[in-house]
Amino acid sequence: MRMAVFSPEVVYLNVEESSLPFFQALASKARMDIISLLKVKEMSIKEMGETLQLSSAIVTKHIQILEEAGIVEAHLVSGKRGLKKMCRLKINEAQIIFDNNYGMKNRSFYQVDIPISAYDQCEVTAPCGMAEAERIFGHIDDARYFHAPNRNRVCLLWLSSGYLEYPIPVFDVDLEDVGEVEITLEICSEFPGYNAVHPSDIDFFFNGKAIGTWTSPGDFGDRKGKYTPSWWTLGSEYGLKKTLRLTETGVYMEQERIADIRLSDLLKAREEKDVLRFRIESRADAKHPGGLNLFGRQFGDYDQDIQVRFLRKE
């Protein structure tokens, strides 16, 4: 099974002179085209030049600017004619801070990426199913496949009711220094085919404690998901990107407080020293029993796993 990884893929930028190299690096259509190429895969200078119909010298200059801004990084690999320079994106996200909500310095954090297939406990009721990037995994409406040990490549799953519980490894996280936890995922209701007006009450738990309920408005298939593969024609195409914020003043989804429980109490409730637990549940007896779709990499509108960020105390 693919393991969760720590990933410093987000940068915070204050609107000040020191951030100018970053902003200037984006002020070029050619450099934006290069970034679009590198979002898909690593590429060499020559490959990018041929794709964009630019000379290698011009591409090299653009790459130098992107490297200096911290957007792109390069490394050497062996080729048929010696070493060649391969380029890749260094970050996945940048946030611009106008009013500096994080204080006079950027707030640091650890990020743990949890593949949607990495749950270790579940209870699933059909209709249900799972998909990899290339094909359906197992058989649709057979909940036994949710327990399959070779499900690590699953990047979309759906269920009409039940739960999924994920272990979050915190071996390298000093929980005494954590002031906030953010959990971000792409999710929506589940309806045969799709139905944009199909509310579903989805419950969230952290270390066994209820941390709130969100009512998904529907299941979305009116257009192709930005990363959903072309072969997929079974309805649900994309979800909504939702972020849970666990703080000392309660649990928030975006700006709405959905639970009063404090982060420190949630952390104390853990039963395993180096593991936290996060559960997503759609109950059959809920007011709106609408199931759920959970999107991972290569499906939906966001090419990401479940992201868990541990923000240090200010």
The pLDDT mean for the chain works out to 90
Cβ(298)–Cβ(133) below 8 Å:
yes
pLDDT of residue 76: 85
Q: Which of the residue ranges 35-44, 98-107, 263-272 would you say has the lowest mean pLDDT?
A: 98-107
- The answer to whether residue 105 scores a pLDDT higher than 50 is no
In CATH, the number for domain 10-94 is 1.10.10.10
pLDDT at 207 over 90: yes
Using pLDDT thresholds of 50, 70 and 90, give the confidence band for residue 1: very low
Interval 267-282 mean pLDDT = 95
160: which 2 tokens? 């009409």
Residue 10: predicted pLDDT: 63
What pLDDT band is residue 106 in, cutting at 50, 70 and 90? low
User: Which of 40-44, 93-97, 245-249 is the most confident on average?
Assistant: 245-249
Strands (E), the chain: 5-6, 10-14, 43-44, 72-79, 82-89, 93-97, 109-114, 121-131, 136-137, 156-169, 178-188, 200-206, 209-216, 240-247, 250-253, 256-259, 275-282, 292-295, 306-312
- Predicted confidence band at 209 (pLDDT cuts at 50, 70, 90)? very high
Nearest residue to 232 (alpha-carbon basis) of 112, 129, 142, 145: 129
pLDDT of residue 104: 38
Q: Is the pLDDT of residue 8 over 80?
A: no
Instruction: Sketch the domain layout of the chain as residue ranges.
Output: 10-94, 109-312
pLDDT tens, position by position, 120-167: 999 999 999 999 999 999 999 999 999 999 999 999 999 999 999 999
pLDDT for residue 313:
86
Give yes or no for residue 168 having a pLDDT over 90.
Answer: yes
pLDDT band at 296 (very low <50, low <70, confident <90, very high): very high
Q: Dihedral of the CA atoms 77, 78, 83, 86 (nearest 10)? A: -30
Taking residues 197-224, report their average pLDDT.
97
pLDDT tens for 55-88 read 999 999 999 999 999 899 988 887 777 788 899 9
Segment 5-20 shows an average pLDDT of 66
Q: Look at residue 96 in the predicted model and tell me its pLDDT.
A: 79
Identify the CATH number of the domain defined by range 109-312: 2.60.120.260
Give the model's pLDDT for residue 9.
55
